[in-house]
Amino acid sequence: MANPRTIARLQERIKERAAYCLQFEVNDPRASFITVTRVELTHDFSFAKIYYSVLGDESDKSKAAHMLEHAGGFIQRQVARVLETRRVPHLRWIFDGSTEDAAAMDHLIHQARERDRAINPALGPENEFVKAREDQPAKESATPEESTPEEPDEDAHEPRDE
């Protein structure tokens, strides 16, 4: 079993090299909006799952998946050049939909906040999640007189004679 630090280091090198290949070395227009999100490497270095995301609609995702199938051997050879291991892992490309899930969740949160503002107009655009509690006084903003910093004592920085 390999050291977890070694596995993490190799995962990062695979991620960097695969992303570099997709950006600069693969001359295919379908590779333009592919982002490598993460890599999972098995403990025996035989397989690496490369998770990717694609900016675009379903047809762009399908085109990117076909392109990655065809360019997989080239990218695997390029990854083998930077890895200093006896075995070169077989690369499997897996679509990562977490960015789309995050965007959908953000949209749902935005809708819920808008509904809350419609129900309770007292909630302003500031931080509507913080409500003043009845047992605590409301915080008032500091007056300009209180917010000015005091002038430091000039004698405080001089060394003392003992």
Distance CA 29, CA 102 (A): 26
Q: Compute the half-sphere exposure of residue 53: CA atoms within 13 Å on the CB side of its CA.
A: 11
List beta partners, residue 35. 53
Give kind and range of the element (H or E) at residue 102. Answer: helix 98-119
Q: What is the mean pLDDT of each run of 10 residues along the chain (162 residues)?
A: 89 96 90 92 94 92 93 94 91 92 92 88 63 59 51 55 53
Cα dihedral 94, 97, 99, 103, rounded to 10, equals 170
Residue 159: predicted pLDDT:
57
Residue 133: predicted pLDDT:
60
Residue 154: predicted pLDDT:
55
Domain chopping of the chain, boundaries: 4-97
List beta partners, residue 47. 90
Residue type (1 letter), 76: Q
Does the domain formed by 4-97 have CATH 3.30.300.20?
yes
Give kind and range of the element (H or E) at residue 71. Answer: helix 58-82
The predicted model scores a pTM of: 0.68
Residue 122: predicted pLDDT:
76
- CB-CB contact of 89 with 47 (8 Å): yes
List beta partners, residue 91. 48
- CB-CB contact of 2 with 45 (8 Å): yes
